[in-house]
């Protein structure tokens, strides 16, 4: 090891930390990463048991171009690490009286839209073409900027689209489509940004292009393959990874971070980067070095938490796809119970993922691996009774909508909710995927990548720039590494 190299310590091993570790190692820093859990990956870890493989966090592989860009920055391709398959169909949405299937190309999706609402495919084409332009602008002109100045958002393309920052995606969709099922279908992609469609700027329709234009993909073996790939890349670049290593304190001397305290041992560093939840990272500092008060965090719109179930079935299930949305209840009411009047949902929407439908490596032969997710408000009371109650609710609905009995075929069951998010990831209020991307929480208006109080302390991840989701986390790691490279 070259001891003259500047030393960076990184807290956490989620997508953003792993991404940053690769870029920093490539820049010539001596990088060590400290993760409290026993395996790397953060919210994207994997549970393997009894032949079932469960991704316990992200399951939608969207924006394949961002992953390609990440690996290309290191002279690699995703295919050097994992096999990527485009899902066909991409997903299925169950409504009370119908099922919408989203195909793997615009032609198939247009046909499905026509079936539901005559003439809607013409509006869809225009809507997606606008969304595609927004995608190009977002990816090429906005998201790869560090969020340090409002001017980053000002380009000739954004100026002529200014209205799209002040109209909401909800208004934009409703202007073009009347059928409630098509409206819900088109409002679904922005849910990944963590806020209600009625609070999300119309410009974010780029998520609709990510959905219909770029498609839904699956890395064979599950989403954890991306983490395995990044871990291997990081180690090849010289990053030293320590798991089972909880960072207890960020040590500050003379206004500079001089290292971290891990398992009662001081690890010295020239710069400290944290990819742990921003709020938690600030609690590792003495009060006077924190940038944001508890009041600040309490005022922010957080992405939902989730009640998750990992279920092993001893048979193949019927009438399902790899990804399935159950929008057979009132979208508006559930959203209001997450954001406006936080409480356990009266009639929850839910999502069910069965990766073994397309990838036989994910379950034992003739078995099915199931992941069920109910989005809920962060910070709700979480008890075993509530978990059981909601499991019964969604199982009944699942059986009715898919026309089969499955309750007696469950051979593995595990739940995960608010308390687990807090305990396993030090997540603020048990949020699942960070701080929402709304107009007032975008770019320079988000908590910054660089501390305003400590010159050599940096942050990355889904609570900072650019925002929640796996692709933004990869970008966040790149952005912060660039700032850190200039800090020397
Ligand atoms: C259920 C769920 C479903 C999702 N679905 C999708 C999806 O389908 N597609 C998509 O793109 N995104 C999805 N997301 C969002 C995506 O997973 C996240 O945005 C991304 O993984 C966040 O990465 P991160 O690096 O910011 O944080 P994290 O993954 O949370 O990493 C932070 C790490 O820091 C560690 N840490 C915390 N405190 C300490 C400490 N004191 N010392 C040491 N280590 C510490 C934590 O253990 C953790 O490993 C989903 C998230 C969840 C939870």
pLDDT tens profile 202-236 = 999 999 999 999 999 999 999 999 999 999 999 99
Q: What is the mean pLDDT of residues 95-106?
A: 98
Tell me the pLDDT of the chain averaged across its residues: 96
324 has a pLDDT exceeding 70: yes
Q: Are the CB atoms for 200 and 239 separated by under 8 Å? A: no
CA distance 417 to 420: 5
Q: Order across the sheet with 99-102: list the strands.
A: 99-102, 91-94, 323-326, 350-353, 368-376, 305-313, 410-416
Pocket residue to mutate for ligand 1, from 470, 472, 481, most atoms within 8 A of Cβ = 470
Residue nearest to atom 18 of ligand 1 (CA): 469
Our answer on whether the CB atom of 44 is closer than 6 Å to any ligand 1 atom is yes
Distances (CA, A) of 233 to 22, 226, 227, 274, 403: 7, 10, 10, 20, 45
Query: Ligand 1: which atom is nearest the Cα of residue 308?
Result: 1
Q: What is the mean pLDDT of residues 430-452?
A: 94
Range 7-43+221-299+435-486 classified under CATH 3.50.50.60: yes
Our answer on whether the CB atom of 432 is closer than 6 Å to any ligand 1 atom is yes
Per-residue model confidence (pLDDT) at position 296: 97
Query: Ligand 1: which atom is nearest the Cα of residue 60?
Result: 8
The rounded Å distance from CA 44 to ligand 1 centre is 6
Query: Could you tell me the two tokens for 219?
Result: 């890395």
Lowest mean pLDDT among 191-195, 241-245, 482-486: 191-195
4 has a pLDDT exceeding 80: no
The rounded Å distance from CA 3 to ligand 1 centre is 32
Per-residue model confidence (pLDDT) at position 2: 57
107-214, CATH topology level: Guanine Nucleotide Dissociation Inhibitor; domain 1 (1.10.405)
Per-residue model confidence (pLDDT) at position 488: 75
Distances (CA, A) of 354 to 19, 312, 318, 470: 28, 10, 11, 20
Per-residue model confidence (pLDDT) at position 3: 62
Residue holding tokens 């046909």?
Answer: 111
Whole-prediction pTM: 0.97
Q: What is the mean pLDDT of residues 131-140?
A: 95
Q: DSSP per residue over 50-99, as a string?
A: TTEEEESS---B--HHHHHHHHHTTT--GGGT--EEE-SS-EEEE-SS-E
The rounded Å distance from CA 475 to ligand 1 centre is 14
Residue holding tokens 């992941």?
Answer: 371
Our answer on whether the CB atom of 275 is closer than 6 Å to any ligand 1 atom is yes
Per-residue model confidence (pLDDT) at position 439: 87
The rounded Å distance from CA 152 to ligand 1 centre is 26
The per-residue pLDDT for range 289-323, each reduced to its tens digit, is 999 999 999 999 999 999 999 999 999 999 999 99
Helix (H, G, I), strand (E, B) or coil at 220: coil
The rounded Å distance from CA 121 to ligand 1 centre is 37
The rounded Å distance from CA 318 to ligand 1 centre is 32
Lowest mean pLDDT among 102-111, 147-156, 220-229: 147-156
Q: Are the CB atoms for 465 and 449 separated by under 8 Å? A: yes
191 has a pLDDT exceeding 80: yes
Per-residue model confidence (pLDDT) at position 487: 86
| Burial class of residue 452 (count of CB atoms within 10 Å of its CB; 0-12, 13-18, 19+) | exposed
Residue nearest to atom 32 of ligand 1 (CA): 276
Number of residues written out for the chain? 488
Our answer on whether the CB atom of 35 is closer than 6 Å to any ligand 1 atom is yes
Q: What is the mean pLDDT of residues 165-174?
A: 95
Q: What is the mean pLDDT of residues 427-453?
A: 95
| Burial class of residue 388 (count of CB atoms within 10 Å of its CB; 0-12, 13-18, 19+) | exposed
Per-residue model confidence (pLDDT) at position 481: 98
Give me the percent of the chain exceeding a pLDDT of 90: 95
The rounded Å distance from CA 271 to ligand 1 centre is 22
Positions of CATH 3.50.50.60 in the chain? 7-43+221-299+435-486
Positions of CATH 1.10.405 in the chain? 107-214
Pocket residue to mutate for ligand 1, from 14, 46, 188, 217, most atoms within 8 A of Cβ = 14
Pocket residue to mutate for ligand 1, from 18, 42, 272, most atoms within 8 A of Cβ = 42
The rounded Å distance from CA 450 to ligand 1 centre is 20
């Amino acid at each position: 090891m070259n001891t003259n190299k500047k030393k960076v310590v990184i807290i956490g091993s989620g997508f953003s930390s792993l991404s940053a570790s690769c870029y920093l190692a490539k820049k010539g820093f001596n990088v060590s990463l400290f993760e409290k859990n026993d395996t790397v990956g953060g919210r994207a870890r994997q549970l393997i048991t009894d032949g079932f493989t469960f991704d316990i966090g992200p399951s939608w592989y969207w924006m394949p171009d961002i992953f390609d860009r990440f690996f290309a920055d290191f002279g690699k391709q995703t295919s050097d690490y994992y096999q990527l398959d485009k899902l066909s169909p991409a997903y299925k949405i169950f409504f009370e009286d119908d099922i919408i299937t989203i195909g793997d190309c615009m032609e198939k999706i247009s046909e499905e839209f026509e079936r539901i609402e005559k003439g809607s495919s013409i509006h869809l084409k225009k809507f997606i073409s606008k969304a595609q332009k927004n995608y190009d602008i977002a990816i090429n002109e906005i998201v790869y900027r560090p969020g340090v100045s409002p001017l980053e958002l000002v380009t000739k393309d954004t100026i002529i689209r200014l209205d799209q920052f002040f109209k909401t995606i909800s208004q934009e969709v409703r202007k073009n489509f009347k059928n409630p099922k098509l409206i819900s279908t088109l409002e679904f992609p922005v849910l990944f940004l963590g806020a209600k469609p009625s609070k999300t700027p119309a410009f974010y329709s780029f998520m609709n292009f990510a959905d219909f234009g770029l498609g839904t993909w699956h890395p064979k073996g599950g989403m954890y393959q991306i983490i395995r790939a990044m871990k291997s890349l990081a180690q090849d670049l010289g990053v030293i990874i320590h798991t089972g290593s909880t960072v207890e304190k960020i040590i500050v001397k003379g206004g500079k971070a001089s290292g971290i305290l891990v398992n009662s041992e001081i690890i010295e560093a020239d710069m400290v980067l944290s990819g742990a939840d921003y709020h938690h990272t600030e609690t590792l500092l003495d009060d006077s070095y924190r940038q944001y008060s508890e009041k600040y965090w309490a005022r922010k719109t957080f992405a939902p938490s989730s009640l998750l179930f990992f279920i092993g079935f001893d048979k193949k299930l019927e009438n399902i796809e790899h990804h399935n949305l159950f929008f057979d209840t009132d979208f508006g009411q559930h959203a209001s119970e997450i954001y406006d009047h936080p409480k356990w949902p009266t009639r929850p929407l839910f999502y069910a993922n069965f990766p073994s439908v397309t990838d036989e490596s994910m379950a034992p032969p003739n078995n099915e691996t199931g992941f069920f997710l109910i989005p809920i408000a962060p910070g709700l009371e979480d008890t075993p009774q509530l978990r059981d109650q909601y499991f019964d609710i969604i199982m009944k609905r699942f059986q009715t909508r898919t026309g089969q009995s499955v309750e007696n075929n469950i051979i593995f069951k595990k739940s995960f909710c608010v308390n687990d998010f807090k305990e396993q990831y030090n997540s603020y209020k048990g949020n699942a995927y960070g701080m929402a991307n709304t107009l007032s929480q975008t770019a320079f208006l988000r908590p910054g990548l660089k501390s305003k109080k400590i010159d050599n302390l940096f942050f990355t991840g889904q609570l900072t720039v650019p925002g929640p989701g796996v692709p933004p986390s990869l970008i966040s790691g790149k952005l912060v590494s660039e700032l850190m490279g200039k800090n020397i």
